Amino acid sequence: MSELTRIIGTRIRNYRLQAGLTQEGLADKAECHPTYIGQVERGEKNLTVESLFKIANALGIPMECLLEKLGRDASFSSSLPLEAYELIASKPLSEQEQLLVLLKEIDKYRSL
């Protein structure tokens, strides 16, 4: 599958883990089959808009959270800022806050 499909699948997995859900739990809430959720998370299946909507609702997030910062074409998905965004977004909120503090400190140090 495409890089775009993989990125969306990774985001779904990250939000699922942050919500404390198993693949089976997410599948139940989204009215999907657990195998389908696994395939989506691994980037093996393309999502329909309806499935994306159901999964986002089951995760308690707006659908756009799964689509943000993807750019206009697949080449954008390999950009360095997006890679950094994906790394930080994959962490729990407490770690995201720590990473932001660390980045700010590095930036402050570099500007001295």
pLDDT digits (tens, 9 = 90+) for 89-111: 878 888 989 999 999 999 888 87
**The 3-state secondary structure of 40-87, one letter per residue:** HHCCCCCCCHHHHHHHHHHHCCCCHHHHCCCCCCHHHHHCHHHHHHHH
Superfamily of domain 3-110: lambda repressor-like DNA-binding domains (1.10.260.40)
Element (H, E) at 20: none
pTM for this entry: 0.72
CA dist 43 → 3, 10, 59, 91 (Å): 8, 8, 18, 19
User: 7: closest CA among 92, 96, 86, 88?
Assistant: 86
d(CA 109, CA 42): 39
pLDDT < 50 regions, the chain? 74-77
Q: Give the pair of three-digit tokens for residue 4.
A: 């775009």
Instruction: Give the percent of the chain with pLDDT over 70.
Output: 92
